[in-house]
Amino acid sequence: MRGTKRVLAALLLAACVSGASAQNMPPVFGEEYSGGKFQKDEMARAFISPVRIVWKYDGDGKLITNEQVLLAPGNSQPEMGRRNTCTMTSTSNQTPSLLLDFGKELHGGLQMLMGSSSRREPSLVRIRFGESVGEANSQTLNSEWKVGYSTDDHAKRDIVMEIPRDGMIEIGNTGFRFVRIDLLQPNTTISLKEVRAILRYRDIPYLGSFRSNNERLNKIWLTGAYTVHLNMQEYLWDGIKRDRLVWLGDMHPELMSITKVFGYNEVIPRSLDLACQQFPLPGWMNGMSAYSMWYLIGHHDWYMQNGDLEFLKKHRDYILGLIKQIDEKIDEQGNENLARSRFLDWPSSGNRAGVEAGYRALIGWALTDAEKLCNILGEPESAAVCAAARERLNRKVMPHNDLKQAAALMAIAGIMDPKQAADEVVAVGGPKGFSTFYGYYMLQSLALAGEYETAMDIISQYWGGMLDMGATTFWEDFNMEWLENAARLDEITPAGKKDIHGDFGAYCYPGFRHSFCHGWSSGPTAWLSEHVLGVKIVDPGCAKVKIEPHLGNLEWVEGTVPTPKGVITVKHTRQADGSVKSEVSLPKGVKQVK
């Protein structure tokens, strides 16, 4: 296709199919389309047929026929007539409905292939996308956020539209697994040849892997990887059916998972660049001072993985300016006035004293990483500013107030003994009080305390609890108490049971507005690779690594971890005497140190 001369129609078709960039655009477009006016769609598309019919409304049994044809593979090619099609027939007072299950959470839309219709004109249908059966069956309420209802905030999920006969139409751009189709046009028959999901995703290899004798942990690792993968769109999002913004706090656990699964990917530096453009100093990232702390922490961890000094230099001025801004707001007594609002994550919001302690620990952690960045950048004066500001801040250490988020950050920041944090707060009650975002940092604090088996048990209970409810991606939030008398997300909720999606959620995510594919929940993927496979970065760019596996009660574990120089392969096996035998293969340029 590239560089060849074809007729205009063929060129236009080829451009649509291949997503040709400005560098290889069909010549008919000419110079006026250069300079970004002709932009390649870097996302790949795949078509997925439904795996089952969850439910149908068929009235007297004659409104829907041959619906099983929709489960067959398709070819996106319409055919005349009604051969091998599903027919839906409405009456003056009966509306036929189908609810389809595509098997896994997806990001994208729907492609519908129609056969003939009883009308020459287009017919009216209602399409509802859902991350759960309950959401696909729910009503939409956009005037407020309310338990039991869904919304069309940010990504349209409830659509009334006209469909043609003997043709094709594509609709939707959201996160979903289920689709409900209602024929609203009265006294009409339509025929559906295909109804397929359009998966829109980055076509990139999974370089990292994790396998052990515990299939539940294996599935959790892969589910976290897939969760963050779906959110790697043009930029790094936190939720595929929500606002699709780049949130710098949410981004950190996503970044950590991406480095363990995909290694380098341009979505991270591109998102960091965009954030600096959208939130110039003296403003805070996302208008939240805590998220500017995550910006510094994220830069440090991205540099340690990739060793990309040129990218770090690109952000030098913003980093130094941010350090100066933080320093000016911490006084000699350790008081700080960065901003009036304090935020860690939504579930911690009610514990104001705990949030205050955790927020200050986050500032200290960020200053530690910023000091390291300044030394890398050859800015000793700014490094000294970071150290002095952290020393002043730590003159005033606040109590954690039994908040797991706070105790975890305090352990990571070095202002609380990790064993004390684990015994007093983080490990108390196991997964009780965990959250999908800060759960990663709670796991990290348990690792600092040497509580690896406890951490793996919590991963199995907490993230595994979502799997038990039918999850194929991890959620914006989850509470173990929700499991009591709750129905799975992939079934119609029986009478007397709770809907795991529609009946729970709080803050900005009540009911079906709750995102069931949220990148910040992928933390166990990064944690299992770092602490169970045991691959830890010592020098930037993974030039030096430590291999320190912690198997807990596992018999064996094996996997891969990507580096800029190639993939590290490890296998750890518990011996009869309790010791662990390790087999390690390192790419050229990566050195293992003790």
Pairing mode of beta strands 544-547, 535-537: antiparallel
Which tokens sit at 223? Answer: 């589910």
Q: What percent of the chain has pLDDT over 90?
A: 87
User: Residues 538, 220: contact at Cβ < 8 Å?
Assistant: no
Q: How far apart are CA 458 and CA 524, in angstroms?
A: 10
Which stretches within 231-351 are classed as H helix? 251-261, 267-278, 289-306, 309-314, 316-327
* pLDDT value, residue 32: 77
pLDDT tens per residue, range 201-223 = 999 999 999 999 999 999 999 99
Mean per-residue pLDDT for 543-567?
A: 98
Residue 594: DSSP 8-state: -
For the chain, residues classed under CATH 2.60.120.260 are: 46-201
As a CATH number, domain 46-201 is: 2.60.120.260
Beta bridge partner(s), residue 544: 591
Q: What is the pTM of this model?
A: 0.94
End-to-end CA separation in angstroms for the chain = 53
Is the pLDDT confidence value at 231 over 90? yes
Q: How far apart are CA 286 and CA 267, in angstroms?
A: 18
pLDDT tens per residue, range 73-130 = 999 998 776 778 999 999 999 999 999 999 999 999 999 999 999 999 999 999 999 9
What's the mean per-residue pLDDT of the chain? Answer: 94
Report which of 147, 195, 152 is spatially closest to residue 174, judged by C-alpha positions. Answer: 152
Residue 244 in 3-state DSSP? coil
Q: What percent of the chain has pLDDT over 70?
A: 96
Mean per-residue pLDDT for 486-512?
A: 96
* pLDDT value, residue 22: 53
Mean per-residue pLDDT for 407-427?
A: 98
pLDDT tens per residue, range 558-574 = 999 999 999 999 999 99
* pLDDT value, residue 311: 98
Grade residue 488 by pLDDT with cuts at 50, 70 and 90.
very high
199 vs 14: which has the higher pLDDT: 199
Side-chain-facing half-sphere of 303: CA atoms under 13 Å:
22
Identity of the residue numbered 86:
C
pLDDT tens per residue, range 2-36 = 343 333 333 333 333 333 345 677 878 777 777 77
Q: How far apart are CA 479 and CA 463, in angstroms?
A: 10
User: Residues 177, 472: contact at Cβ < 8 Å?
Assistant: yes
Mean per-residue pLDDT for 222-248?
A: 95
3-state secondary structure 180-237: EEEECCCCCEEEEEEEEEEEEECCCCCCCEEEECCHHHHHHHHHHHHHHHHCECCCEC
Beta bridge partner(s), residue 574: 580
* pLDDT value, residue 81: 66
Which tokens sit at 56? Answer: 């149908």
Residue 83 vs residues 76, 124, 194, 195: alpha-carbon distances, Å: 15, 22, 12, 15
User: Residues 334, 398: contact at Cβ < 8 Å?
Assistant: no
